[in-house]
């Protein structure tokens, strides 16, 4: 056998990789210089009060143990936004 024949044989006897996984990396760029913190507007406070009213109506008309907690949470949110 010549040197070229040995090299070809060595390549053929090499096992294939058992597991091949693709790379799933994602680059994410966030515009940190553009973040602005604002006070909630009147529309947001009004929306919270509407949700509170709806939660109170649903609590009176439906029997679900989760509803009192939902109403309390909406009350707290509406109070924070006023």
* Span 48-57, pLDDT tens digits: 999 999 999 9
Query: Helix or strand or coil: residue 34?
Result: helix
Nearest to 81 by CA among 53, 51, 47, 40: 40
On whether residue 20 sits in a domain, the answer given is no
What's the pLDDT at 17? Answer: 65
The structural domain count of the chain equals: 1
Report pTM: 0.51
On whether residue 29 sits in a domain, the answer given is no
On whether residue 55 sits in a domain, the answer given is yes
DSSP 14: S
10 exposure class (CB count in 10 Å sphere: 0-12, 13-18, 19+): exposed
Which domain, by its residues, includes 54? 36-82
On whether residue 72 sits in a domain, the answer given is yes
Nearest to 55 by CA among 70, 77, 66: 70
On whether residue 21 sits in a domain, the answer given is no
On whether residue 14 sits in a domain, the answer given is no
Mean pLDDT of the chain: 79
On whether residue 5 sits in a domain, the answer given is no
d(CA 65, CA 42): 31
């Amino acid at each position: 056998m010549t040197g070229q024949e040995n090299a070809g044989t060595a390549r053929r006897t090499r096992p294939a990789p058992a597991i091949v996984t693709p790379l799933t990396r994602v680059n994410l760029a966030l515009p940190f210089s553009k973040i602005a913190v604002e006070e909630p507007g009147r529309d947001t406070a009004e929306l919270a009060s509407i949700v509170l009213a709806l939660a109170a109506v649903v609590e009176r008309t439906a029997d679900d143990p989760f509803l009192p907690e939902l109403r309390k949470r909406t009350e707290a949110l509406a109070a924070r936004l006023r």
